[in-house]
A and B are shown apart, each in its own frame.
Chain A
Amino acid sequence: MKLSQVLHRQHIGFMFKKHWMVQGKRVPIDTGVEDSLKQKGIPFEDALEFIKEKQEPKERIKIVGPYEHPLPQDENHPDFKERPCYTLKKSNVLLEGISQAQVLTKTIIAEDVLPQRIEELAELPAPKAIHRGVKQAILNANVFDCEQKKLPKKKDPLRPAYNFSRILGISDKRRNLNLTNKLLQLVEKSNDAEVTQNKYVLNDVESLSVFDKEDDLIQFQEMSNILVTSNKPLKHDLNESNIPFIEIPDLYPVKHTVTLPPEHFYAESSKYPVRSSIIKKHPHTTWLHFNSTEVNNIYETPVTPTQILGRSLTHAFTVATAYAKQLYGEDVKDLPDPIHLNCIQTDGQRFHFGVLELNTLNLDGTEGTKNVWYCKNDLKLYDSCRYLSAIPVLENYNPKVYGYINAFYNC
């Protein structure tokens, strides 16, 4: 409510407020007492003399509030650690993308190559009912879901100050969650109960991997949006001859810890989300969502395709090392047995498949045993799925992607 002069006239409360202000500025009137006292010779003192002494500042009272205030996050904090830890979080990407990920994880890449058995399984045709289900899942995730949240602001680069009305719709987080879970449900339903009984599906579990590389302490914090675990470790038959590997590149002048912000509060040991006493603890496939509203460069530049590919590798590496450290201890270097892990990254439309072979955790230099990353990138599940002039459409559904997802689950 706007306070106006009219209201002042009406409102008795405002009148009193003004009255106090006027009365507070009163000038003392000379009553003539001073002069008459002087005449009669009676001694008197100035009243201001008695209040001359300045009051000492009181000690602040510690008030018990509704909750205890957290200590400031600085070097006086008891958990503060001198040595900085370069941290990669799930909302951050590497500057150089896949090449930087290669250096950090000491990995060579087999581009467009997946293990033979996966390729064979992916060729198997799926029944029509399944493909109908996949199409329904895509439509449901993109069109028929009822979420109405504010989508990111629309901007026209030619007139950047123009404000478009905000569009409400399905957020990318919800879309990816719906799509991947429905796809996995279909894969599991199309498989025999004996296969699915040996696996376990977890949603939104965090893995943490802390490791040293050339005197730098680095940690990766990652969240598997879906983590499929199984009762025995995943093993791939990998035939490494005649594959053209992409060797570890030289990043000069960039250092490999660029865009990893140093942190002074961190856990010193890695963490794998499933306890070691569980039988179905062995990681099998990890699904990673790329939500464009959540993942950013630490600078304002948009995320590039190679940076997205780099995410897959660092993510798979985090889950695999966390598991390896739980299995063999925190200080393990060369693994006695390589660990294999499947990784699927998706932004709801493009799918990036990868298989990581983790051989070593000794990440110094570029020589010696290396880890291997087999990948097949940029498979589109469909071209577009949306309301096209108020009619729901799904254009160019690609059945191959389902084949790969099914193969990843079954291998």
Chain B
Amino acid sequence: MRLLRINGTFPKLRKLICRRYAQAIQAEENEYTETPVYPPILDMSLQARKLRERETIHKKIENINTVEEKQIALNMPRYYGWQCVILHDDKVPYNALPLVQHYTRTSFKNIDKLPDIYTQSSSVADSVVQEIKPYIEECIAIENEGVEHNIVTSVHKPEQQQIENAKTRNIVKQINRIISNNLTDKVSHILSSQVDYDPRHEAFWFIGGVDVPNNVVNWRKKFKWLKDRAHEPLDRPVQYLGSPLLTIRNQLPLKPVIPYSEAENPEFKVPVYSCVPETVGYYSNYRHGTNIPGFWPGDFDEFGMLSYHGRGHLLDRSESYGAEDNLEALHCQAIKASFGWLLAQANYKGFTTYNDLTYPLVTQTVITNGHLMSFYVYQLNTITMHSDKVDNNPKYNICFGTKPLALYDSIENGKVKGLNEDVLKMLVQFYLNAPEERDHEMAPFLGKEEQIIADIEDDNRRCWLESTYKHIVSNRPKHLLPPELYLWEKIYKIKFNTRFFEAKRKPFEFDINPFNRRLDDHLPPYIPKVLRPYPRSKKKFETTYYPKV
């Protein structure tokens, strides 16, 4: 007993002693300067204070060392995930182009031939086209009539869409094989690039400038201090989900199509689309934001070169939409797919939706069904478009795109008639566009030593972060179901308070929003007594290593 008591009082004693010494060792700084130095004058209005709060969080995310921790940090404010507007690559509602352009901050340019930087590869492409032409003709004929593939369809998507995409996938594989085998000897970057089939592409960002939804306005009106701020702008989380048929990626990035300074050109300005996304036909869902460009952090081939997408979804659009809207749907698909892939790549270089790119990224996109091909070149200049930046960010992204062009006229008796060499040339020029080393720093917001969590030295921290990161991006359901408001409760308890005599148990009865919960707001795993380190450990719970934002 006595020993215990001494132990208990000892820390207090030590503190007393320390304080006494601390007074004695006061640093003798010169408190006076020649001219008076005042602290900066800060705007102390509520809006300005909130803005500064947000900016410190953005700064904290910028200062995090590794890619994966930044991704966890983006998800820190929501335990049950963000209520994201989901943009699928193959779901385009009617008249979606204005919304997609605003959400991706992309200006779209219709072109008939490829931008100027492709002119230098023109002569090489001509000779290559002449070499590969018979083989392309042959492979199209074989894939259409010469081979029996059995196509397995699932019930999750319309059948004809799946069949068309499966056929397209086979043709695209053949075309890619022929072109890259031919070019390996001529250009060096083909051998070193990797080809992926059906990779997983996901991207997450915040968009500002969208009207505040009615339910949020109603909620805010309940509180008297929020009444004047009922229409204060709100960030909408956006999640892109897509899966191209085939992608090619390389260690080095492609050259910019237009100089980076041109990104601020006012002619690229995109009008704001302020209606809520439900008006167009995009819906939202709770999920953790994920940024995945088809591989986990640590792979060397980090920059996309070319991606092929199917256009089977056009078959399941209503006929009444018309040809013009179908064309716009292709543009939408290309913009979403290119932006989504590039944004995910940018995230792997340490930029996030809060920390803007410092250099442009470029990708090339082909949308095809094996017969019609449309070509898109996309330059990503900016990725910050949350509500603080949506109005004062001068930069815009640029997408150049062609109409769907027919690769050939028809197939008769197992022979391809009228192969369009110009279309094939454009495709070859996409392959010939060589990636180049840049002379600036590629990852300014990542650590010098630690860039991914595999570089972290502390074993426990590394393993914990790895498993947590994979768990978050898998978006698997929580062990306990998320809180739910039953319909009868809404009618008999919220709309009409007919059951006032019952005990209050649910969160809404205490004015608690259960979704307003941070990711680290949970009890860490318990360490059973037998597993605690010998001889005595008071540590009951395992350590967590959530990034501090």
| A→B interface (CB under 8 Å) | 1, 6-7, 10-11, 129, 133, 136-137, 139-140, 143-148, 168, 177-178, 181-182, 185, 188-193, 196-197, 200-206, 271, 273-275, 277-280, 387, 389-392
| B→A interface (CB under 8 Å) | 131, 135, 138-139, 142, 145-150, 170, 173-174, 177, 180-182, 184-185, 190-192, 194-197, 199-200, 292, 294-296, 298-301, 414, 453-454, 459, 462-463, 465-467, 470, 473-474, 476, 486, 488, 492, 498-499, 502
Residues on A with C-beta less than 8 A from B174 are 200-201
Residues on A with C-beta less than 8 A from B190 are 189
The answer on a CB contact under 8 Å between B488 and A1 is yes
Closest to A10 in B: B492
| 5 nearest CB pairs, A to B | A390-B466, A146-B200, A196-B181, A144-B299, A278-B146
In the bound complex, how far is the Cα of B143 from the Cα of A204, in angstroms?
Answer: 13
Residues on A with C-beta less than 8 A from B199 are 145-146
**Given A146-B294, A193-B182, is A133 in contact with B454 using a C-beta cutoff of 8 Å?**
no
Residues on B with C-beta less than 8 A from A139 are 299
Closest to B467 in A: A390
11 A-B contact pairs sorted by A residue (CB < 8 Å)? A10-B499, A11-B488, A129-B192, A133-B192, A143-B298, A147-B200, A189-B181, A201-B173, A275-B145, A278-B147, A392-B454
Closest to A272 in B: B148
Closest to B166 in A: A204
Residues on A with C-beta less than 8 A from B131 are 193
The answer on a CB contact under 8 Å between B146 and A274 is yes
Residues on A with C-beta less than 8 A from B177 are 185, 188, 196, 201
In the bound complex, how far is the Cα of B315 from the Cα of A364, in angstroms?
Answer: 53
**Given A177-B197, A189-B180, A391-B454, is A148 in contact with B296 using a C-beta cutoff of 8 Å?**
no
The answer on a CB contact under 8 Å between B146 and A275 is yes
The answer on a CB contact under 8 Å between A206 and B470 is no
**Given A144-B296, A144-B298, A147-B200, is A188 in contact with B181 using a C-beta cutoff of 8 Å?**
yes
Distance (Å) between the CB of B169 and the closest chain A CB?
9
Residues on B with C-beta less than 8 A from A277 are 146, 414
Residues on A with C-beta less than 8 A from B194 are 136-137, 140, 182
The answer on a CB contact under 8 Å between B299 and A275 is no
The answer on a CB contact under 8 Å between B142 and A204 is no
The answer on a CB contact under 8 Å between B191 and A133 is yes
In the bound complex, how far is the Cα of B475 from the Cα of A148, in angstroms?
Answer: 10
Distance (Å) between the CB of A224 and the closest chain B CB?
11
Option from B135, B300, B453, B470 in Cβ contact (under 8 Å) with A136: B300
The answer on a CB contact under 8 Å between A145 and B147 is no
Distance (Å) between the CB of A139 and the closest chain B CB?
8
Residues on A with C-beta less than 8 A from B474 are 148, 168
The answer on a CB contact under 8 Å between B150 and A146 is no
The answer on a CB contact under 8 Å between B295 and A205 is no
Residues on A with C-beta less than 8 A from B292 are 146
In the bound complex, how far is the Cα of B474 from the Cα of A300, in angstroms?
Answer: 32
Distance (Å) between the CB of B154 and the closest chain A CB?
14
Option from B147, B462, B466, B492 in Cβ contact (under 8 Å) with A274: B147
Option from B185, B197, B470, B488 in Cβ contact (under 8 Å) with A148: B470
Option from B147, B149, B181, B301 in Cβ contact (under 8 Å) with A193: B181
Residues on B with C-beta less than 8 A from A133 are 191-192
Distance (Å) between the CB of A283 and the closest chain B CB?
12
The answer on a CB contact under 8 Å between A205 and B498 is no
Distance (Å) between the CB of B426 and the closest chain A CB?
21
Known pairs A197-B181, A274-B142; list 17 more (Cβ under 8 Å): A11-B488, A136-B299, A136-B300, A144-B295, A144-B298, A145-B295, A145-B296, A146-B295, A178-B197, A189-B191, A192-B185, A275-B147, A277-B146, A278-B146, A278-B147, A280-B138, A389-B459
**Given A10-B499, A148-B474, A389-B463, is A1 in contact with B200 using a C-beta cutoff of 8 Å?**
no
Distance (Å) between the CB of B280 and the closest chain A CB?
29
Distance (Å) between the CB of A396 and the closest chain B CB?
20
In the bound complex, how far is the Cα of B471 from the Cα of A168, in angstroms?
Answer: 9
Residues on A with C-beta less than 8 A from B294 are 146
Distance (Å) between the CB of B248 and the closest chain A CB?
11
In the bound complex, how far is the Cα of B180 from the Cα of A193, in angstroms?
Answer: 10
Option from B147, B196, B467 in Cβ contact (under 8 Å) with A205: B147
Option from B135, B173, B295, B298 in Cβ contact (under 8 Å) with A203: B173
